[in-house]
Copies of this chain bind each other. A is one copy, B any other.
Amino acid sequence: MPALGSSDGIIIDRPRFATSACVEPVAEHLTRNADELICAENDHSPYWYRVLTGAARCCTHLNDGRRRVIDFLIPGDMFRVYALPVHRIRLEAVVTPTLVHRYRRLELEQIARFDRAVAREMREEAPRAIERLQAHTVMLGHSSAIERVAAFLLEFSRRSRPQPEDTLVLPMSRSDVADYLGIAVESVSRALTHLRRDGIIDLEGPKRVRIKSRPALEQLAVQVLDA
């Protein structure tokens, strides 16, 4: 399968098929354009999802029109709906096209009996989700907008596959980032400009960020100390 490119020639992702050989037969292929719904169940869902190309956001919509982006999913990430009495979680595509595999839980468990790799992935899905959520929580605890944006860049860089020259491709819009960080779109923009003016990053188009000084970025996004 060839690399997929967005309209401006940026190579966003190549599919990752960590467990493809075994789960392929039971995988339902979903292709979505940006902002289209991938999954909106609100009760315990029998499906598991895996983002293959593109990106997705896990979010809720508040009744005053605001939106909370709880998590971004990039190729390789898995997703499922947990029993959630409080919030209605949705999964939406962020870029066009976004390819997602959908598996039935029971079929996945069936395969996991024989395939240790699949079993391991199922076992690790929840811990990974928790890891992302905890990191996000720490990020949201950061008081200033610049700290949040800096932490976001580092976190996304860590999760993304390495790109040449410490360049980072943000598949989502500023508005997505804003709702993820809990600040206004303009604040995201200002923070990025601020970082650029300080020579910490370069902006090569709205979606490409080159990290010029990782140490400076890390200093802004106050990292965790060992106790």
A residues sitting closer than 8 Å to B (CB atoms) are 40, 42, 60-64, 66, 68, 70, 82-90, 126-127, 129-131, 133-138, 140-143, 155, 158, 179, 182, 222-227
**A-B CB proximity, top 8 nearest:** A63-B225, A126-B126, A133-B133, A140-B140, A68-B141, A82-B127, A141-B182, A87-B224
Given A126-B126, A141-B140, is A62 in contact with B133 using a C-beta cutoff of 8 Å?
no
B66, B86, B179, B224: which contacts A60 (Cβ < 8 A)?
B224
6 A-B residue contacts at CB 8 Å?
A68-B137, A84-B134, A86-B135, A87-B138, A126-B127, A140-B141
Using Cβ atoms and an 8 Å threshold, which residues of chain B touch A42? 226
The residue on B at minimum CB distance from A64 is B222
Q: Which of A130, A136, A142 has the most CB of B within 10 A?
A: A130
Copies of this chain, how many?
2
Given A83-B131, A140-B182, A179-B141, is A88 in contact with B224 using a C-beta cutoff of 8 Å?
yes
In the assembled complex, the CB of A216 is this many whole angstroms from the nearest CB of chain B, namely: 15
The residue on B at minimum CB distance from A123 is B126
User: CA–CA, A133 to B87, complex, Å?
Assistant: 12
Using Cβ atoms and an 8 Å threshold, which residues of chain B touch A143? 182
Using Cβ atoms and an 8 Å threshold, which residues of chain B touch A129? 130
In the assembled complex, the CB of A38 is this many whole angstroms from the nearest CB of chain B, namely: 12
Whether the Cβ atoms of A131 and B224 lie closer than 8 Å is no
The residue on B at minimum CB distance from A183 is B143
Whether the Cβ atoms of A89 and B134 lie closer than 8 Å is yes
Contacts A82-B134, A85-B131, A140-B140 known; list 14 others, CB within 8 Å: A42-B226, A63-B222, A63-B225, A64-B222, A66-B141, A68-B138, A82-B127, A83-B131, A86-B135, A87-B134, A87-B138, A88-B224, A89-B134, A126-B126
In the assembled complex, the CB of A161 is this many whole angstroms from the nearest CB of chain B, namely: 16
In the assembled complex, the CB of A6 is this many whole angstroms from the nearest CB of chain B, namely: 27
Using Cβ atoms and an 8 Å threshold, which residues of chain B touch A63? 222-225
Given A126-B126, A130-B82, is A224 in contact with B61 using a C-beta cutoff of 8 Å?
yes
User: CA–CA, A88 to B133, complex, Å?
Assistant: 14
